[in-house]
Amino acid sequence: MKNGIFSLLFLTLLAACSSDDAGNSNSQCDIPVITISNEGLSSVTVSWTQADASSVTLEYGEAGFTQGSGIEITASQSVDINNLMSSTDYEIYAKANCGNGGESSFSTPISFSTLQCIPATGADAFSITDVTAAINYNVGFAESYQVEYGPTGFTIGSGTLMDIQLGQFQLTGLTPNTTYDVYLVSLCGGSSLPIYTQPIQFTTDTSCRTPEFFGIWYVADTAVGLSWSALETAFEVEYGLVGFELGTGTVVPTSISDVEITGLSSGTTYEFYLRANCGSEGFSNNVGPLVITTEN
């Protein structure tokens, strides 16, 4: 009977010691100390110190989130957290996993912030032809940039998208004599929404190219000499007394890049316009007026 009592007491003490050993194993699993580095627009690197941990469980979310509702990651070494939103404050908790079911408590939250995304600005169009246009813009601070463009009034998401770099790019394959809207799109990375600028607008030239450098090479009492530069091969000069309405003046056709207009009145002020004649493709835009007063 005494042996039975001693045996029962021994087993009870053994169980208590075993339970106490397990409790000591958990209590010796230290809470990891985490460090945040490489903060970017949409990512950070998380590392920690806890030599006895086989892995660490991280839970993170936007600042003020309720623990248990965040995103969890378990890793055995430092880890990059991606797909964050730019310009956003976050909190992260960590606990150590020490093997044999042992784990520490969660740490107090560590705060960090992703970098601010600064959109591109200041776009303008130049060197516009019938089918091309160059766009210049000021680079901001984003992961990448795109342009979305289409005929004026198009719905964002239905236009043509193109990746762009640096501070200048070229649009090609445009339609002549068409007004376009161009949006710069700054991509901030991760789960951040793209940032669109207000659209810039430009109108392509007609396919019949407009003459340039329309000027005067002489003025007399009853005649003037006019010249220009152009890629087309047929032209019309239209003139009349100052203030006349286009379409009501005298038209002088020519196939060379200069013309003499004769039979004018001395001491009289005239207006002269010029356009290219492209046959079946129509006419270019008019340039002018040149306002000229003949000599007395």
Mean pLDDT of 271-288: 92
Give the Cβ contact number of residue 81 at 10 Å.
20
Q: Is the pLDDT of residue 184 over 80?
A: yes
Task: Kindly state the helix (H) or strand (E) to which residue 19 belongs, with its residue range.
Answer: helix 2-27
Mean pLDDT of 192-221: 93
In this structure, are 63 and 144 located in the same domain? Answer: no
In this structure, are 6 and 50 located in the same domain? Answer: yes
Q: Is the pLDDT of residue 13 over 70?
A: no
Q: Could you tell me if 176 and 206 are in contact, meaning their C-beta atoms sit under 8 angstroms apart?
A: yes
- What pLDDT shows up at residue 74? 94
Q: pLDDT (tens digit, 9 = 90+) per residue, 72-106?
A: 999 988 999 999 999 999 999 999 998 777 889 99
For residue 272, count CB atoms less than 10 angstroms from its CB and return exposed for 0-12, middle for 13-18, buried for 19 or more: buried
In this structure, are 266 and 188 located in the same domain? Answer: no
In this structure, are 172 and 265 located in the same domain? Answer: no
In this structure, are 85 and 139 located in the same domain? Answer: no
Mean pLDDT of 179-192: 96
Q: Is the pTM of this model over 0.85?
A: no
Mean pLDDT of 153-165: 95
**With left for phi above 0 and alpha for psi between -120 and 50, is residue 289 left, alpha or beta?**
beta
65 Cβ contact list (under 8 Å, min separation 6): 91
Torsion of CA 223, 271, 280, 260, to 10 degrees: 10
Mean pLDDT of 117-127: 93
In this structure, are 9 and 91 located in the same domain? Answer: yes
In this structure, are 218 and 253 located in the same domain? Answer: yes
What's the rounded Cα separation, in Å, for the pair 287 and 289? 6
- What pLDDT shows up at residue 166? 87
Q: pLDDT (tens digit, 9 = 90+) per residue, 140-158?
A: 999 999 999 999 999 999 9
Task: Tally the domains of the chain.
Answer: 3
In this structure, are 173 and 226 located in the same domain? Answer: no
Least confident segment among 15-29, 66-80, 150-164, 252-266: 15-29
- What pLDDT shows up at residue 32? 92
In this structure, are 42 and 102 located in the same domain? Answer: yes
What's the rounded Cα separation, in Å, for the pair 114 and 165? 23
- The residue among 236 and 209 whose pLDDT is bigger is 236
Both tokens of 225, joined, read 């000499």
Q: Is the pLDDT of residue 201 over 60?
A: yes
Residue 194 is part of which domain span?
121-203
Q: Is the pLDDT of residue 18 over 80?
A: no
In this structure, are 6 and 108 located in the same domain? Answer: yes
Q: Please report the DSSP string for 43-69 in residue order.
A: -EEEEEE-TT-SEEEEEEEETTPPTTS
* Confidence at 54, pLDDT banded by 50, 70, 90: confident
- The residue among 15 and 180 whose pLDDT is bigger is 180
Domain final residue pick, 91, 113, 135: 113
Least confident segment among 178-182, 188-192, 207-211: 207-211
- What pLDDT shows up at residue 102? 86
In this structure, are 227 and 195 located in the same domain? Answer: no
CATH, residue 258: 2.60.40.10
In this structure, are 187 and 228 located in the same domain? Answer: no
Q: Is the pLDDT of residue 167 over 60?
A: yes
Mean pLDDT of the chain: 89
